[in-house]
Amino acid sequence: MYLAISLAFFGVLLAAVAIVVWLSIRRTEYRFSQWALWMLARYLTRVQWRAKVPTELPLVSGQGMIVVCNHRSSIDPLFLQACVRRPVHWMVAREFCEHPAFRWFLRTCEVIPVNRGGVDTQSTKAAIRMASQGEWVGMLPEGRINMTDEFMLPVRPGAVMVALKAKVPILPCYLENSPFNRTTWSPLLMTARVRLVVGSPIDLSAYYDREHEDGLVEQLALDVARAIAKLAGRDDFQPRLAGRKWKPTDEELAAVANPSKSAKTRREVQTEPRD
CATH number of 29-267: 3.40.1130
Residue 258 has pLDDT above 70, yes or no: no
Short-list 27, 75, 24, 86, CA closest to 51: 75
pLDDT 10s digits, 197-231: 999 999 999 999 999 999 999 999 999 999 999 99
pLDDT band at 253 (very low <50, low <70, confident <90, very high): very low
- Return the H-helix or E-strand segment holding 175: strand 170-176
The angle, 0 to 180 degrees and rounded to 10, between the axes of the packed helices 121-132 and 158-166 is 40
The answer to whether 52 and 160 are in contact (CB under 8 A) is: no
pLDDT in tens, 54-92: 877 766 777 899 999 999 999 999 999 988 888 999 999
pLDDT at 243: 77
Where are the domains positioned within the chain? 29-267
**CB-based contacts of 209, cutoff 8 Å, min separation 6:** 164
Structure confidence at residue 27 (pLDDT): 76
For the chain, what is the mean pLDDT? Answer: 83
Asked if residue 272 has pLDDT above 50, the reply is no
Residue 264 contacts residue 251 (beta carbons within 8 Å): no
266 — pLDDT class (breaks 50, 70, 90): very low
More confident residue, 40 or 7: 40
DSSP 8-class letter at 164:
H
Q: Roughly what angle, to the nearest 10 degrees, separates helices 216-231 and 158-166?
A: 110
- Among 13-22, 107-116, 185-194, 237-246, which stretch is predicted with the lowest mean pLDDT? 13-22
User: 95 falls in which pLDDT band (50, 70, 90)?
Assistant: confident
